[in-house]
Structure 1
Amino acid sequence: MTVHTDASKYLDPKVSAFVSGKHEMLIGGKWRPSVSGKTLDVLDPANGKVIAAVPAGEAADVDLAVKAAREAFNGPWSRLVPAARAKLIWKLADLIDQHGLMLAQINSYECGKPIGDSRNGEVPFTAETFRYYAGWATKLNGEAMTINAPGDWHAYTRREPVGVAGQIIPWNFPLAMLAWKVAPALATGCTIVLKPAEQTPLGALYFGRLVEEAGFPEGVVNIVTGFGEAAGAAMSAHPDIDKIAFTGSTEVGKMIARAATGNLKKVSLELGGKAPTIVLGDADIEMAVAGASSAAFFNAGQSCGAGTRFFVHRKIYDKVMSGVAERAEKLRLGAGLDPASELGPVVSQQQMERITRLISEGRGSGAEIVTGGERAGDVGYFVKPTIISSTTPEMAVMREEIFGPVVCAMPFDDEDLETLAQDANDTEYGLAASIWTNNLGAAHKLAAKIKSGTVWINCHNFNDVTMPFGGFKQSGWGRELGAQALDLYTQTKTVAIRLP
């Protein structure tokens, strides 16, 4: 399998100049190095080469950012009327569109995803998210209540911003996850300390330039780059951060929840997944093959909603799996910036080694590798799209979130919905699932039985800014996107007046 790892010829000169330039953090409207002077390297996952250095922020930098956010929250940001906030957020969305090529190339360069997915998917979705929440800024209303107690009363609620929000975002969808958190926080009137993943900080820093260009008051959006164990941990425990929002692994999410108990800050967590893809016997085979392939291999499987467990009815199992295997073997692996690439690298050496270790453990436990099963090439962090069969429920490949282009496939014989739901729910996670069928009744009944925050029917990995997204069980707390995301950044105050 030939892997194309050098796509420098596709890099726009403006992007190259930005990436290779000097990078500082945005704190209080000023661009600053880290207090310690330390930096961290950013790598191109297609070849492992260093492409940039950014500040390695630590607790002292978080302190400065929180102070700036607090001053902005108590000062100019709180004095803006909702319509003024809405205009600024909408202007930011327009700037994202105008700088779409820059953002898309930066995104694909640092996280490795195919440029088409960045340019045609993630960047437009990022802008759309800001526009959606710009509309909500003027619609955060309280309500009046009818009081049962004797006497004359006027009672009502106010919906107020939580305050300073600390937001920690992952590397798999750097721009979309930024928008999922920043946009509703801005709409509600919160101020922000944002920490991008250490692997993918460049898109967030470029976004900081757009925040400045849009005209946001200083300190409303602060961006601190750094490692999770330093900057992220300092944010989670900071006594003057009112709310922490995190997307990432369940293990780290639990650490953040524990750290947040110091001041009982509000916490929202979007964590891991082990999504089942259930193909019933009456499903459209061509549609199921295409959908299951995308569910497993989109973004090199680096999605918390990735369909990593296939349950396929035995009467169509061979056809479906041969179709998925054929698609997997034809995927063109390459650097994200190469327009011909269909599957990019995973994000890091550490991630690649973890994926290949879990595959190897599965093979050692008796699982069969249908296709793939190893690293692709010897440059960069590429893993061949992998299908595993003959698995058992206790195997690590069936239990753990692999976060790579790997799927375990299992046939089933009896379309008893209770049994199917039990198998689908046999995981500590509950983020997403998909059902493939032409039987509308079975689809609805099975969807009701599956314990996950999202159930897709005849589709997978479909998100819309209007649709709440989040998990059951150990897949997290709270819902992002849709109107429900506003609940994460607001709190309700009740006012009761006894009338004379």
Structure 2
Amino acid sequence: MSNANFAIPKAYNEPVKAYLPGSPEREALKKELDRQASIQVEIPIIIGGKEYHTGNKGKCVMPHDFNHVLAEYNIAGEEELKLAADAAMAAKEEWANMPWEHRASIFLKAADLLTGPWRAKMNAATMLGQSKTAFQAEIDSACELADFLRFNVAFAEQIYKQQPENSHGVWNRTEYRPLDGFVMAISPFNFTSIGGNLCTAPAIMGNTVIWKPAQTAALSNYYFMQLMKEAGLPDGVINFVPCRGSDVSKYLLSDPRMAGFHFTGSTAVFSGVWSLVGENIAKYHSYPRLVGETGGKDFIFAHPTAQVEPLVAAMVRGAFEFQGQKCSAASRAYIPASIWPQVKEGLLNETAKLKMGDPRDFTNFMCAVIDKASFTKISEYIDYANASEDAEVLCGGYDGSKGYFVKPTVILAKKPDFKTMVEEIFGPVLTVYVYEDEKLEETLKICDTASPYGLTGAIFAQDRNAIVMMEKALSNTAGNFYINDKPTGAVVGQQPFGGARASGTNDKAGSMLNLYRWISPRTIKESFVPSTDIAYPFMCEE
């Protein structure tokens, strides 16, 4: 075995391709979109590198054309989930003992495959299956996912280099072991990159993983599993099990060998998992690490000195890109009365220009929300606002005749605690509350306390003293805080992502902080010349 101290290639953020007319990436993507739209894929369960077909299947449809079936996925049950746990444990020792440079090379190769020959395939699957535009798919399933792979390898290297101080005659070392058991990862539909990160971040640190993808993102997630296989990931390191959440709770979360849980999804689900783990705490071989990024009620708060044009742009992009289905999407806005007329005019004018439809039409800014349940939930909020005397729907609506289309909707709330100002909607609905300029500090307190969440938020102001004051007043409202920018678009390595309060454990995906959760350090002290003394000097007689 080599004794060299290898240096990992420097991590970098993958450049975002523009997909301009006539560009080779646009031509390749359109060709791949046509190909994927013309076939139907059967997605297997993958355990220990083997494919399993249960015959119990669900469907992946285009949200913008819900009669078009892209794929059918096999649903894992009790037998498959227990088999996955056994497979993860069986692969653990060899994976943990693989020399670091070889383990790292798998994920670095995966990043290059992703941004090279797999780019169009991953983006097309994300566009069709999750109804994302070309740009939204590019920044997600190509760039951010590659960034996670490259930066997490670099972060791991930095962790491994951290060693304790030594004293005379003593050599102190720290080794960073994987957790003592398997890691369970449950990922959401909205970002292909999150699915890839939730399963690979623990694996990079030497853990083996059971991955439950969101059923509505099963196609792009399955392709990522195939990509990892091509990159050389050994069988059993990541086990792919589309299944019901209730079965995960029943057969895996209570397994004594579960050592970690990596999650992005709803606050309610994560709270339920935390309770379940607490109920089973005496069973586990070690205390499970629980890492979760959950809900949000993300805000934009404008000061009277805010510039109107960039504020409007941030509101439109922050609220309506990817149909507001980002954990970080702007869902509420606090606008001072002095600039509201100009903001309202600009907001409604710009929103009216947004085109919505099939992602294969590259002129569309928005597509469909993910499924019928989401469509129904969002439309009920819009109906509630339309019927209420405490709100006015300035624009928006919905149409579910062919796809799950919710139009970009702006609600003007007459009260700061109106339902759509405080509850998570997860759709293209922005609620605005207009405050009197002299009530700035009072309204900042309302913003801080109106929601149980603490994920993202943005402030807009030109007055530097105001920025200082607002930043301090809102210090606990957001784990990712933006000044004169929209509250979305965190970049791996630049703005590590995560929030506290009801928004999760704030373990910051895209940073070393997250990777620390997947290791169990062992400190080793070696004495070169061991002492033979038993008595201590202070024991000598006077």
Q: How does 1:238-317 map to 2 (within 5 A)?
A: 238-261=255-278, 262=280, 263=284, 264-317=287-340
- CA apart distance, 1:203: 0.8
> Post-superposition, which runs of at least 4 consecutive aligned residues in structure 1 deviate over 6 A?
none
CA contact (8 A) 1:85 1:137 kept: no
Shift of 1:447: 2.1
Match of 1:95 among 113, 122, 133: 113
- Is it true that 1:438 corresponds to 2:462 in the alignment? yes
Following TM superposition, by how much is the alpha carbon of 1:433 offset from its aligned partner in structure 2, in angstroms?
A: 0.3
1:111 aligns with 130
Partner of 2:243: 226
Cα displacement (A) at 1:434: 0.5
| Cα-to-partner distance string for 1:76-121 (whole Å, 9 max, x where unaligned) | x122111111111100101111211111110011111112211355
CA contact (8 A) 1:270 1:475 kept: yes
2:16 alignment partner in structure 1: none
* Contact 2:122/2:141 (<8 A) preserved: no
- The count of residues paired between Structure 1 and Structure 2 equals 485
User: What is the CA distance between 1:435 and its match in structure 2?
Assistant: 0.8
**Structure 1, unaligned stretches of length 5 or more?**
1-7
1:485 aligns to 2:514 (yes or no): yes
For residues 181 and 444 of structure 1, the distance between their equivalents in structure 2, rounded to whole angstroms, comes to 35
The separation in 2 between residues aligned to 1:157 and 1:219, in whole angstroms, is 27
Tell which deviates more after alignment, 476-485 or 349-358.
476-485
Task: Tell me the CA shift for residue 394 of structure 1.
Answer: 3.6
* Normalised TM-score (structure 1): 0.91
Q: Secondary structure at the match of 2:64?
A: coil
- Between 266-275 and 151-160, report the one with greater CA deviation: 151-160
1:27 is aligned to 2:53: no
Offset at 1:360? 1.7
- Render the CA deviation track for 1:162-219: whole Å, top value 9, x for unaligned: 242111110111x110233234223211121111101110111111111111111111
Q: 1:210 to 1:375 in 2, by over 3 A?
A: same
* Counterpart AA for 1:212: K
Range with bigger deviation, 122-131 or 303-312: 122-131
Select between 159-168 and 79-88 the one with higher mean Cα deviation.
Answer: 159-168
Structure 2 Cα separation of the partners of residues 236 and 364 of structure 1:
43
Give the deviation of 1:377 after TM superposition. 5.6
> Quick check: 1:58–1:234 contact (8 Å CA) kept in 2?
no
Deviations 1:326-377 (A, max 9, x none): 2222211102232122111100111111011112223333243343342136
Q: Distance in 2 between matches of 1:58 and 1:372?
A: 45
% identical equivalent positions: 26
The aligned amino acid for 2:460 is: W
**Cα contact 1:42–1:198 (8 A) shared by 2:** yes
Aligned counterparts of 1:417 and 1:159: Cα–Cα separation in 2? 49
Post-superposition offset of 1:253: 1.0
Task: Tell me the residue number matched to 1:78.
Answer: 96
- Of residues 458-467 and 344-353 in structure 1, the stretch that sits farther from structure 2 once superposed is 458-467
Paired position in structure 2 for 1:39: 57
Superposition pairs for residues 390-429 of structure 1, below 5 Å? Answer: 390-414=413-437, 418-425=441-448, 426-429=450-453
> Using the alignment, how far apart are the partners of 1:229 and 1:372 within structure 2?
39
Q: Does 1:181 align with 2:198?
A: yes
Question: In the TM superposition, what whole-angstrom CA distance separates every residue of 1:402-434 from its partner, at most 9, and x where no partner exists?
Answer: 001001101122366643431221211111100
Deviation at 1:134, TM superposition (A): 2.2
2:386 to 341, 363, 371: 363
Segments of structure 2 that go 5 or more residues without pairing to the other structure are 1-28, 532-542
Checking the alignment, whether the CA contact within 8 Å between 1:280 and 1:415 is kept in structure 2 is no
Residue 3 of structure 1: aligned partner: none
Quick one: which amino acid aligns to residue 112 of structure 2? D
SS in 1 for 2:295: coil
**Are 1:191 and 2:218 matched, yes or no?**
no
Picking from 431, 456, 459, the partner of 2:485 is 459
For 1:171, the equivalent position in structure 2 comes to 189
Taking the aligned partners of 1:495 and 1:15, their CA distance within structure 2 comes to: 53
Measured against aligned partners, the alpha-carbon deviations of 1:251-277 in whole angstroms (never above 9, x if no partner) come to 111111122232341101100000110
Alignment pair present for 1:473 and 2:508: no
Give the alignment's TM-score, normalised by structure 2: 0.84
